[in-house]
Amino acid sequence: MKSNTVTEQLTDAGRAIEHSSFAIIDAEVGAHQYTAEQWPLVRRMIHANADFDFNGLTAFHPDAMRAGLAAVLKGGTPVVADVEMICVGLSRPRLKHFGMSTQHYISDDDVIERAKAEATTRAVQAMRKAHRAGKLDGAIVGIGNAPTALIEVIRLVREEGARPALIVGMPVGFVSAAESKDLLMTMSDIPWVAIRGRKGGSTLVVAAIHALLGLAEAKAAA
């Protein structure tokens, strides 16, 4: 089978290590209930953290993979993130291949001022700014750090008509992290990928989106 040329490691040695890692995961993972389309995303998340708990903790809206791949293959789809770490972690050449860009607002001066004035978090105000700017509609929204950002995105969908293409909701932590993802998993009208419980993080959001990019390249070449 022909390897991807854009969404793979750039050297033969790098590709060999990554493919060997995936093979080890496939051999050690045991039984799982994921579809052939979902499994590469879960496997890449396991690879990113060496944590087999994501076999089982990862949950998918029924339309998540179709919607995510469609958003990537459409071209020009933005990734709106809760924190800069996601934007930095995503491969620029891979995004560029699909005409994609990343955006985050959490460090903007007006976001900080509104958060102070309204006694909310910067993450909440960042998502509100993204919505006011029309950046959430059609976007892949990646949340790996701030549960309040995820809760706000859900509110914006339900109350203000925001329409992301896909929400990758994986905030990590002890305060509202599990609850925010439980709330996300009640949504039926917007596709999502989530991690149950306290585990999560920006690294996993990056891994999930990289998996989508790889699957999209393979689909386009098929």
Query: Hey, which residues are catalytic here?
Result: 47
Backbone angles phi, psi at 101, to 5 degrees: -135, 165
**Which one-letter DSSP state was computed for residue 29?**
S
d(CA 105, CA 122): 9
d(CA 44, CA 57): 14
Q: Could you identify the residue written with the tokens 């979902």?
A: 38
Of 166, 160, 143, which is closest to residue 62 (Cα–Cα)?
A: 166
Q: To 5 degrees, how large is the angle CA 58–CA 62–CA 65?
A: 75
